[in-house]
Amino acid sequence: MRFRILGPMEIEGSAGPGVLHTPQAAKLRVVLGTLLVRANQVVSVESLVTELWREEPPRTATATLHVYVSQLRKLLDAVDPARGRELLHTQPPGYRLSLTPDLLDLTAFEELYRLGREAMADGRYRRAADLQRRAIALWRGPLLSDTPHGPLLEGAAAQLAEAGGAALDQRIRADLELGRHHELIAELRSLAAEHPLREELHGHLMLALYRAGRQAEALQAFAELRKMLVAELAIEPGPPLQRLHRRILAGDPGLLRTAAETGSAETVREDADGTASLGIAAGTALPAADPVFTGRGAALAQVEELLRNAPAGSFVAVAGQPGVGKTAFALEVAHRSGPYFPDGRLFLDLQPEPGRPLPATKAISTLLRRRGVRLAHGAGAGELHDAWQEQLTDRQLLLVLDNADSEAQLRPLLPTTAGSSAIVTARRLPAGLGGIRPVLLDALDPEEARLLFTAAVGPEREAAEPAAVRELLELCGGLPLAVRVAAAQLTARPHWSVASLVDRLRDERFRLGELRIGELDTRAPLLRAYQDARPELRRAFRLLGLLPAGPFGRAAAGAVLGLSPAGTTRLLDGLVDDRLLVAGDRAGCQLPELLRVLAVERLAEEESPQDIGDAIERLCAEYARAAGQVAAVLTHARPSGDEPHEPAAWFTRERDALVRAVRQAHGAGRWTAAVRLVAALDGHLETHAAWGAWAETHALALDAARRCGDRAAEARTLRSLGDLAWQQRRLEEAEEHYGLARRIAEETGHRTELSRALVGLAELRMDAGDGAAADALLTAALAADPGPGDPRARFDVLRALGFHALSAGDHARAHTRFTACLDLARTLHDRRLESFARRALRTARSGPGHRLEVRPGVWRLHERRPLPEPAF
């Protein structure tokens, strides 16, 4: 029994290839085709119904589907009476067709394609060409070309058409490496005509023509392609093709070199077996350098210098966060270092599949094979090691070992003798190995990111939307992978503006999902790095997502982690080692932008709301502590030693983080934490006149106080909102807030807030020139004075009384009041109030002008003389 779907559907039964059992009914072919494309997977009834009738299923859709399935079972029974009926299972929520790989051409294709790619990566070009040729031969036409396609089959057809194209591309590449350029030219001409927009086919044709000595025709092929692209799409050929064009124009002899000629792989000797044989010594097996690689000038120079003067046994280890471009960097260095390694340069991916590192023996076998060395089957580790070291001895070889996993994996591969060297890329530095020369790659700076972006998409986008490009690169955090993805998206969708892409990326909940196109996926390597970390580091990483973008201090980190300073330092160091965190200067550490976005994602996915709420509460408590400490340092001039650095700049530096923490606490329903933090911020908000932050935090705190029934906090917050409105001269609003604060303070017997609210109301009356009303309110405020327990409230009453006396012309009384203020400020050890009281005393002596400092730092500007009669 065989099923063939790579073309029209064909079902071959036990009677042999002469008898086909393909169903005549189209609907039946749809059901069977869908089950075959998803072989060994459950296809839901819903999917099958959509596949059959799209958006308009009949009322009897499910029943009809049952009939089709029943007919299919009969068909399968007829195809193979022995076991046909057993292949189709009913399994909620749908059906599953169980097939062994040999029964379906699709699975055979996928297996051949995979093996072909592996052979290609190993440099076994003859085998690669053979496997891909066999894979392509399975195609008889478009997928299920005789069957109507619903959404599922449409998607599968598009995906498999791409895979078919990739198999063809691999086969041609392998043939080119085998020196079969003459035979390829006709086929490539035909393919290029059939697929005029597939630039890689044109590139292969140009290369084949060049190698066949037909340089002019190669250039003509480029000119024709360019002409067509400009005429049809108004675009130039892509960077790889332009680079190839330049090399042909320059007559680059490197283009003529095939693997067969250099002998860098087993091209000619792969059939030799049984006995060890030495291959040709020289040869280079490096993937092409990234055509748009830009920047990193200083690091490139450093590594080139290290490689040129590498002592025996040393190697360069390139480390950095996922997606930072370690492999591209290593390849760029390797390509530039050719003259220093005349015996060849070899590249090996030590982790070709995520999570499955190559064992050292397998890695050595591959490297030996690329050098043309074949050992007897079953050679032991010692034998392999000796053969490899023999290859390195007295030669000048450069190894590029990509994605190193562990020191144990690397140790046997590294050269130990002078002349040869290695560039190793790894997320974690293999610091335990001797001879390591570490190079850490960071995200690109804004200018380097801009250069990479323009190299990838051309200069027009940047010229047209410079501000949007700047924001885009910031949203990508300067991470080369993300910049490349963004560039690829804009190239693939010319109708998108940069601003529209920026709009999609602004919401960090969707950013990583948006930064993906084709096989380029920004999230995947970041997620792998996260998943590779130890569980305690993963938890720490997630919780750090609660902190805002930018540098954060160890105290804030310790708060969200709920750990002691020592425990926090240990975890932060672990995250830095795993390249999930960047260690900063005194300002603290920082999550690279896209890793921070990942942390936010993981936090929501993996932490319970309870744990998140607890962490937010700890963070709020830490911020409140810091706010109090900074205020104490600034007003008392008494450094405690563990206050935040540069305390005078603390509030400005942390303002956004503080507002965010209040928002988080409110969002998590941690009312008390929100209320306490906002209370601690009161003085800072007032002194800095941070009106936006003041209004937002206090609106949240007021709601929180009401929700948790904290009446004292409600009165305090309302009074502070009154102060804000007073400062802004929204006098009606101020009156309303002070009035509400007064009422609640009276109801709850909160004398401090009652006193301060009455002072606020009195100042409003003074502002309006209503001395009698102000007098009554200040008398009430004095009566509500909580006494020596709260000198701050008493200071305010006396301050207002002083200005009230001053406005009434009673300078002596004003002097007395301000003297009392000065005494209280000294009791409070508050330099700010003390300084203010001294200035007020000077005013009492000299008399008020038209400018009066009525609260610390707030000047009331009055009219100085009456208005003249209007002249109109």
The total number of residues shown for the chain amounts to 872
Residue 349 carries which DSSP code? E
Please tell me whether residue 652 binds other proteins under the rule CB under 8 A: yes
Binding segment (CB under 8 A) for other proteins, from list 126-134, 610-618, 619-627, 833-841: 833-841
Please tell me whether residue 829 binds other proteins under the rule CB under 8 A: no
Least separation, in Å, of the C-beta of 839 and other proteins? 7
Any idea which residue has 């940047």 for tokens? Answer: 462
- Counting other chains too, the contacts that 288-291 makes at CB distance below 8 Å and 24 or more residues apart are 288/240, 288/331, 289/328, 289/331, 289/332, 289/335, 290/328, 290/331, 290/332, 291/239, 291/240, 291/243
- Please state, in angstroms and rounded to a whole number, the distance separating the CA atoms of residues 26 and 24: 6
Binding segment (CB under 8 A) for other proteins, from list 181-189, 260-268, 414-422, 724-732: 724-732
With a CB cutoff of 8 Å and minimum separation 6, the contacts of 602 are 530, 538, 541, 542, 545
Q: Which of 169, 767, 810, 823 binds other proteins (CB under 8 A)?
A: 767
Least separation, in Å, of the C-beta of 847 and other proteins? 15
Least separation, in Å, of the C-beta of 695 and other proteins? 10
Q: Pattern 151-190, binding to other proteins, x per CB under 8 A?
A: ----------------------------------------
Please tell me whether residue 827 binds other proteins under the rule CB under 8 A: no
Please tell me whether residue 850 binds other proteins under the rule CB under 8 A: yes
Residue 854 sits at φ, ψ, to 5 deg, of -90, -25
Q: Which of 729, 747, 783, 789 binds other proteins (CB under 8 A)?
A: 729
**b or e along 802-830 (b: 16 or more beta carbons within 10 Å of the residue's beta carbon)?**
bbbbbeeeebebbbbbbbbbbebbeebeb
| Nearer CB in complex with other proteins: 135/627 | 627
DSSP H helices, 23-104, are: 26-37, 45-53, 61-79
Q: Which of 59, 377, 586, 864 binds other proteins (CB under 8 A)?
A: 864
Strand, helix or coil at 665? helix
Structure tokens belonging to residue 736: 């309303």
Binding segment (CB under 8 A) for other proteins, from list 117-125, 169-177, 603-611, 863-871: 863-871
Cβ 143 vs Cβ 160: under 8 Å? yes
Residue 758 carries which DSSP code? H
Please tell me whether residue 730 binds other proteins under the rule CB under 8 A: yes
Sign of CA dihedral 292, 295, 297, 298: negative
Binding segment (CB under 8 A) for other proteins, from list 24-32, 65-73, 234-242, 855-863: 855-863
Please tell me whether residue 868 binds other proteins under the rule CB under 8 A: yes
Least separation, in Å, of the C-beta of 715 and other proteins? 24
Please tell me whether residue 336 binds other proteins under the rule CB under 8 A: no
- Distance (Å) of CA 121 to CA 118, 173, 346, 404, 533: 5, 11, 12, 17, 28
Please tell me whether residue 732 binds other proteins under the rule CB under 8 A: no
Please tell me whether residue 832 binds other proteins under the rule CB under 8 A: yes
What residue type is 248 in one-letter code? I
Binding segment (CB under 8 A) for other proteins, from list 449-457, 569-577, 633-641, 663-671: 633-641
| Nearer CB in complex with other proteins: 335/730 | 730
Please tell me whether residue 696 binds other proteins under the rule CB under 8 A: no
Q: Which of 399, 634, 761, 822 binds other proteins (CB under 8 A)?
A: 634
Please tell me whether residue 807 binds other proteins under the rule CB under 8 A: no
Please tell me whether residue 689 binds other proteins under the rule CB under 8 A: yes
Angle in degrees, 0-180, between the axes of helices 151-177 and 26-37, rounded to the nearest 10: 60
Least separation, in Å, of the C-beta of 800 and other proteins? 16
Binding segment (CB under 8 A) for other proteins, from list 104-112, 164-172, 682-690, 741-749: 682-690
Beta pairing, strands 2-4 & 10-12: antiparallel
| Nearer CB in complex with other proteins: 461/684 | 684
| Nearer CB in complex with other proteins: 161/648 | 648
Please tell me whether residue 586 binds other proteins under the rule CB under 8 A: no
Least separation, in Å, of the C-beta of 629 and other proteins? 15
| Nearer CB in complex with other proteins: 470/860 | 860
DSSP H helices, 393-465, are: 407-410, 446-457, 459-464
Please tell me whether residue 198 binds other proteins under the rule CB under 8 A: no
Residues contacting other proteins: total by CB under 8 A = 37
CA angle 461, 462, 466 (to 5 degrees): 125
- Please state, in angstroms and rounded to a whole number, the distance separating the CA atoms of residues 781 and 294: 69
Torsion of CA 727, 728, 730, 736, to 10 degrees: -40
- Please state, in angstroms and rounded to a whole number, the distance separating the CA atoms of residues 737 and 755: 14
What residue type is 124 in one-letter code? R
| Nearer CB in complex with other proteins: 510/691 | 691
Q: Which residues bind other proteins (CB under 8 A)?
A: 634-635, 637, 648-649, 652, 687-690, 727-730, 767, 831-832, 834-835, 838-839, 850-851, 857-865, 867-868, 870-872
